[in-house]
């Protein structure tokens, strides 16, 4: 059993393995801002509600969302391009012959982004095509915790305060946990 799987099992053990309920799903409210607020009311992890709403609303690709699956797809699409940009930045920094400790951080972060980036596409198809919301919650939670955590740990232990990497990591958490919450809500609506 690998470490990621162990950590994931630990997370699910600690938190009970169920999407944290916060409010009954109401199908009448489907304006984009109420959908965004819903996605940002994350029952797990550390996402500030106001920051999350402000961030998601700052993307005009996200604003026209008409339903929860549509919103998830839009957030994950923005997330993928955001992480692609962060990863390119990391790659460019690696070519600039950085000092060894920084190079170590960059390598860890590149590996982290290589691991987490496929999750965006996988989760889009799980949510919009397969309607396998439960698997999506697992995938998104692990992306927003230990996949990006590999980079966060390296940054923290070497005290590298690179703003692009730091904001990129925070963004992975925000995009990952808000879509995790959407998948939770959809799972509840599906299964009752």
- Residues 75, 178: Cα–Cα separation, whole Å: 8
> Where in 2-41 is the site for ligand NAG (CB under 6 A)?
none
User: What is the DSSP code string of 78-119?
Assistant: HHHHHHHHHHHHHHHHHTT---HHHHHHHHHHHHHHHHHHHH
CB of 78 to ligand NAG, least distance (A): 8
CB of 103 to ligand NAG, least distance (A): 20
By CB under 6 A, tell whether 176 contacts ligand NAG. Answer: no
For ligand NAG (CB under 6 A), the number of binding residues is 9
Q: How many CB atoms lie within 10 A of CB 185?
A: 23
CB of 51 to ligand NAG, least distance (A): 9
By CB under 6 A, tell whether 164 contacts ligand NAG. Answer: yes
By CB under 6 A, tell whether 86 contacts ligand NAG. Answer: yes
By CB under 6 A, tell whether 85 contacts ligand NAG. Answer: yes
- Residues 161, 33: Cα–Cα separation, whole Å: 33
Interacting residue with ligand NAG among 82, 178, 181, 187 (CB under 6 A): 82
By CB under 6 A, tell whether 168 contacts ligand NAG. Answer: yes
By CB under 6 A, tell whether 51 contacts ligand NAG. Answer: no
User: What is the DSSP code string of 3-62?
Assistant: HHHHHHHHHHHHHTTSPPP-S---SS---HHHHHHHHH--SSS---HHHHHHHHHT-TTT
Q: 152, 169 in Cβ contact below 8 A?
A: yes
By CB under 6 A, tell whether 178 contacts ligand NAG. Answer: no
Binding site for ligand NAG (CB under 6 A): 55, 82, 85-86, 89, 164, 167-168, 171
């Amino acid at each position: 059993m690998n470490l990621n799987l162990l950590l994931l099992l630990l997370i699910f053990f600690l938190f009970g393995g169920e999407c944290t309920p916060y409010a009954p799903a109401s199908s009448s409210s489907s304006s984009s801002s109420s959908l965004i607020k819903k996605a940002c009311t994350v029952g797990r992890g550390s996402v500030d509600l106001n920051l999350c709403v402000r961030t998601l609303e700052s993307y005009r690709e996200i604003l026209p969302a008409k339903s929860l699956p549509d919103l998830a797809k839009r957030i994950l699409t923005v997330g993928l391009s955001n992480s692609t940009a962060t990863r390119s930045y990391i790659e460019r920094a690696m070519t600039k012959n950085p000092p060894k400790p920084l190079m170590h951080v960059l390598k860890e972060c590149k590996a982290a982004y290589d691991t987490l980036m496929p999750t965006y596409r996988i989760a889009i198809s799980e949510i919009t095509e397969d309607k396998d919301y439960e698997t999506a919650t697992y995938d998104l939670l692990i992306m927003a915790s230990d996949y990006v955590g590999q980079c966060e740990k390296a940054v923290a232990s070497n005290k590298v305060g690179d703003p692009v990497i730091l904001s990129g990591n925070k963004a992975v958490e925000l995009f990952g946990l808000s879509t995790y919450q959407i998948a939770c809500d959809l799972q509840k609506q599906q299964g009752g």
